[in-house]
């Protein structure tokens, strides 16, 4: 018996890796010292500075992959993974240096894998981030044929005096929200059950409540916030940022609140996009559940002094003032 007969084709995997190399190399700058195919990636850290702090994060895109598989559209989830990761280190004051990915599958299909990597490379290039390397794993029995797992690790750098730790947040600060482009990368297990499992909706047809198809709405690419917010991070105008991912407002905002503070948010301050109303209508989830599972149209929370709000509005014209920081017990109060 040969390895290929057991479900793993080394030649096919090597062909995929050669395709990945052609996508990754254009994202490299002079700080990348290794080649695709090395046992590890090398990155020259000499220019980072004596007060530099490395910021790292790892995440995946969850069951959004199942929607990508249904649609046969893979590039968007590659962009999602990078953009999500970039946002996760931005909230601590970090700017990306390099990115590593893991693609696991029951059988590596060239078009699917290269589609994901093409999306990752495009997002990395947009953020000045090197796609330094990764792993493609063909594991029949662990993954079913056609199934994929996509995970990424990002490493960035922050100046020690620009770190966002939440220690500058105080009562009287304003709470602003930047709109999302949809679900981003969270809540898909509930969304898929509500919208795709019943069989009564054509996911590829334009839905009248959405103006686009269900697939288009679910596969909207996760919005990155680095470019508009970075100058405000550098100028220390921002007191804290919270990336609204799994856990929604109620679990993510308290992660950046110091003791003795809380946040009050007026739910009438923004319009919840129709995709969330459709999910709630078809799932029967109550308002509290929706606010904990989904971002409800707000992908990033910005906490800053009232005097710095005009600078935020100038950089982010679509930002919405949602509420304020008050004295309290590190909770989020949604009104009404």
Contact 53, 162 (CB under 8 A): no
Q: What confidence score (pLDDT) does residue 7 get? A: 67
Strands 95-105 and 148-159: antiparallel
Distance CA 220, CA 139 (A): 29
Q: What confidence score (pLDDT) does residue 104 get? A: 96
Q: Give DSSP secondary structure letters for 109-159.
A: -HHHHHHHHHHHHHHHHHTT-EEEEEEEEE-BTTB-TT-EEEEEEEEEEEE
Distance CA 71, CA 203 (A): 9
Residue with tokens 């599972």: 293
Q: Cα separations (Å) of 9 from 106, 114, 150?
A: 11, 17, 20
Give the angle 10-12-13 at the CA atoms, nearest 5°: 65
First to last CA, the chain: 66
**CATH class name, domain 174-335:** alpha beta
Q: What confidence score (pLDDT) does residue 40 get? A: 83
Task: Name 60's Cβ contacts closer than 8 Å, sequence gap at least 6.
Answer: 81, 149, 150, 151, 152, 185
Cis peptide before 12 (omega within 30 of 0): no
Which tokens in the block code for residue 56?
A: 């790292």
Contacts of the segment 275-278: beta carbons below 8 A, 24+ positions apart: 275/182, 275/183, 275/210, 275/217, 275/218, 277/209, 278/194, 278/195, 278/207, 278/209, 278/210
Structural domain spans, the chain: 3-162, 174-335
Q: What confidence score (pLDDT) does residue 26 get? A: 93
Q: Cα separations (Å) of 295 from 64, 70, 204?
A: 15, 23, 24
Q: Give DSSP secondary structure letters for 17-31.
A: HHHHHHHHGGG--TT
Taking 50 as the pLDDT cut, the residues of the chain under it are none
CATH number of 3-162: 3.30.1330.10
């Amino acid at each position: 018996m040969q390895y290929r007969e057991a479900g793993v084709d080394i030649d096919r995997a090597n062909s995929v890796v050669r395709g990945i190399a052609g996508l990754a190399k254009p994202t490299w700058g002079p700080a990348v010292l290794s080649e695709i195919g090395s046992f590890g990636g090398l990155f020259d850290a000499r220019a980072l500075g004596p007060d530099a702090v490395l910021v790292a994060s790892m995440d995946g895109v969850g069951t959004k992959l199942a929607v990508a598989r249904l649609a046969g559209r893979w590039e968007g989830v590659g962009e999602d993974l990078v953009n999500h990761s970039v946002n996760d280190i931005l909230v601590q004051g970090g700017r990306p240096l390099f990115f590593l990915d893991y693609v696991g599958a029951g059988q590596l299909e060239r078009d699917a894998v290269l589609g994901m990597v093409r999306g990752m490379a495009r997002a990395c290039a947009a953020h000045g981030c090197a796609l330094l390397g990764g792993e493609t794993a063909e594991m029949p029995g662990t993954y079913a044929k056609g199934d994929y797992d996509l995970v990424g690790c990002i490493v960035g750098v922050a100046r020690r005096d620009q770190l966002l730790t939440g220690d500058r947040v105080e009562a009287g600060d304003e709470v602003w929200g930047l709109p999302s482009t949809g679900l981003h990368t969270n809540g898909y297990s509930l969304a898929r059950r509500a919208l795709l499992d019943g069989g009564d909706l054509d996911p590829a047809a334009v839905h009248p409540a959405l103006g686009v198809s269900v697939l288009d709405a679910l596969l909207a690419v996760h919005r990155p916030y680095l470019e508009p917010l970075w100058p405000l991070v550098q100028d220390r105008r921002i007191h804290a940022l919270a990336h609204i991912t799994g856990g929604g407002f109620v679990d993510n905002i308290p992660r950046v609140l110091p003791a003795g503070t809380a946040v009050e948010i007026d739910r009438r301050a923004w319009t919840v996009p129709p995709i969330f109303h459709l999910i709630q209508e078809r799932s029967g989830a109550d308002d509290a559940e929706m606010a904990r599972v989904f971002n409800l149209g707000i992908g990033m929370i910005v906490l800053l002094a009232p005097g710095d709000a005009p600078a935020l509005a100038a950089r982010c014209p679509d930002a919405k003032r949602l509420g304020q920081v008050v004295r309290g017990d590190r909770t989020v109060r949604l009104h009404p």
